[in-house]
């Protein structure tokens, strides 16, 4: 790489503690133009939150999220060649959002905000669901190009980092969704606080995030796909995410452990890339980016690893990915 990343050592975002236990360390393996530095995950001895420390500084976000970052180009990949895998994902996400709206128990229009909406693929899916006619779809995205694509698809999208945003109106959303976003941010407590500020009384804040306290993570360690080096900065488990909710005045109502086959693909790619760094075939067998493009290879890999996660959930009660619903009090 041309130069080392500017790094930060902010301490624990929850308790500002600096007394930590080392877990594991690893490197970028998905993109070739970001960094080849090694980053460690540590667990706060005081509150149990896991963080990357040191981690890239906020000024390095454009470098570690290159223009071809997968979340910025999902609509483009889908439009080029639609496939069964993409449709299965769509139905899964639609089923979840319908269930969440039912738990809101509200009549009339629903204002929904997708945090880190990328190019609007999830908002497209929500809008085309069985409750789509009731939804006002909003998003916030830090990448202007992806935000523009989402706007062109009919969604109201603000550009910026959610945790420092001041444009979105307080107490104006029924449902705030953050699918695998909170682990990426500089200050997850401020992130969750902002979500709480935006929710109407009785509204739901729903996050999907890696679960570091899983068999997969503890066995694979530095090769676990949920590390997503160096873009995942904070990792949670059931106990620490409940503490997060309490810190911002929300109540955890539901935790669901979900299959996440992408983590398995990234895990296999990391393990093989570490052993065969000059070989092209780890990229061919377990493509870390092209896995998001519909193809027969993607279908086979994602189907197999989804089934593996279902089996692990049956045996252990958990997977390496969890969805957490937090409720804003009604008064």
- Please write the tens of the pLDDT for every residue from 171-181: 999 999 999 99
Instruction: Name the pLDDT band for 82 (thresholds 50, 70, 90).
Output: very low
Instruction: Name the pLDDT band for 70 (thresholds 50, 70, 90).
Output: confident
Cα–Cα dist 29/35, whole Å? 9
Work out the percent of the chain whose per-residue pLDDT is above 70: 95
> What confidence score (pLDDT) does residue 295 get?
85
* φ, ψ of residue 116 in degrees (nearest 5): 70, 50
Phi-psi region of 208 (alpha: psi -120 to 50; beta: other; left: phi over 0): beta
Instruction: Name the pLDDT band for 84 (thresholds 50, 70, 90).
Output: low
> What confidence score (pLDDT) does residue 75 get?
65
* φ, ψ of residue 264 in degrees (nearest 5): -65, -40
| CATH number for the domain whose boundaries are 71-208+238-253 | 3.40.50.150
Instruction: Name the pLDDT band for 282 (thresholds 50, 70, 90).
Output: very high
pTM of the model: 0.91
Looking at residues 61-76, what average pLDDT do you find? Answer: 82
Strands 38-44 and 20-27: antiparallel
Looking at residues 302-321, what average pLDDT do you find? Answer: 96
pLDDT surpasses 90 at 284: yes
Work out the percent of the chain whose per-residue pLDDT is above 90: 75
> What confidence score (pLDDT) does residue 79 get?
44
pLDDT tens-place string over residues 13-39? 898 777 899 999 999 999 988 999 999
> What confidence score (pLDDT) does residue 80 get?
42
Residue listed under structure tokens 């460690």: 40
Average pLDDT over the chain, rounded to whole? 91
pLDDT tens-place string over residues 136-152? 999 999 999 999 999 99
């Amino acid at each position: 790489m041309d130069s080392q990343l500017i790094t930060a050592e902010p301490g624990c975002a929850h308790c500002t503690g600096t007394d930590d236990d080392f877990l594991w360390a690893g490197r970028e393996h998905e993109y070739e133009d970001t960094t080849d530095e090694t980053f460690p995950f540590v667990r706060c001895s005081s509150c149990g939150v896991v963080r990357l420390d040191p981690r890239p500084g906020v000024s390095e976000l454009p470098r570690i999220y290159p223009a071809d970052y997968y979340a910025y180009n999902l609509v483009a990949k889908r439009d080029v060649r639609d496939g069964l895998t993409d449709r299965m994902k769509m139905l899964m996400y639609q089923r979840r959002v319908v269930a969440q709206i039912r738990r809101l128990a509200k009549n009339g229009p629903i204002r929904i905000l997708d945090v880190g909406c990328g190019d609007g693929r999830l908002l497209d899916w929500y809008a085309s669901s069985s409750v789509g006619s009731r939804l006002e779809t909003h998003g916030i995205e830090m990448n202007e190009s992806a935000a523009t694509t989402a706007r062109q698809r009919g969604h109201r999208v603000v550009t910026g980092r959610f945790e420092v945003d001041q444009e979105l109106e307080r107490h104006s959303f029924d449902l705030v969704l953050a699918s695998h976003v909170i682990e990426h941010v500089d200050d997850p407590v401020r992130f969750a606080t902002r979500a709480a500020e935006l929710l109407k009384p009785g509204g739901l804040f729903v996050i999907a995030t890696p679960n570091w306290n899983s068999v997969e993570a503890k066995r694979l360690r530095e090769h676990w796909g949920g590390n997503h080096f160096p873009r995942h900065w904070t990792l949670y488990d059931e106990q620490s995410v409940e503490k997060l909710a309490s810190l911002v005045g929300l109540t955890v109502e539901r935790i669901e452990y979900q299959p996440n086959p992408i983590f398995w693909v990234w895990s296999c790619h990391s393990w093989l890339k570490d052993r065969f760094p000059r070989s092209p075939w780890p990229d061919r067998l377990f493509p870390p980016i092209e896995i998001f493009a519909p193809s027969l290879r993607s279908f086979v890999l994602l189907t197999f690893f989804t089934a593996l996660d279902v089996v692990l959930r049956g045996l252990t009660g958990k997977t390496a990915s969890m969805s957490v619903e937090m409720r804003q009090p009604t008064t």
